[in-house]
């Protein structure tokens, strides 16, 4: 039995996560915060972007590992 659709979804998700992670590497928050973030300093807002970047990288790694695992399962017989 071929499990191509879940593998493709995992690979597309991993590529999307790594692409957004790469884009956020050079993202800097604006000096003037929006009204919803007025209570946070510039460093705190930039730290939230850094945390989001780390979450995206971890998610991309997990999706890539899931694709490899599913491919292994599909070819193990």
pLDDT tens across 18-59, in order? 999 999 999 888 888 878 778 888 899 999 999 999 999 999
Parent domain of 30: 4-74
User: In total, how many domains does the chain have?
Assistant: 1
Helix, strand and coil percent figures for the chain, each rounded to 5: 75, 0, 25
User: What is d(CA 70, CA 55) in angstroms, rounded to the nearest whole number?
Assistant: 22
Residues in the chain: 77
What's the predicted TM-score (pTM) here?
0.83
Q: How many angstroms separate the first and last alpha carbons of the chain?
A: 9
Instruction: Judge contact between 7 and 70, C-beta under 8 A.
Output: yes
Q: What pLDDT does 1 receive? A: 54
């Amino acid at each position: 039995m071929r499990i191509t659709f879940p593998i493709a979804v995992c690979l597309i998700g991993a590529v999307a996560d790594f692409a957004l992670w790469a884009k956020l590497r050079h993202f800097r928050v604006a000096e003037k915060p929006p009204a919803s973030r007025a209570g946070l300093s510039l460093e705190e807002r930039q730290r939230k972007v850094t945390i989001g970047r780390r979450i995206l990288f971890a998610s991309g790694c997990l999706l890539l590992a899931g694709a490899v695992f599913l491919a292994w399962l599909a070819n193990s017989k």
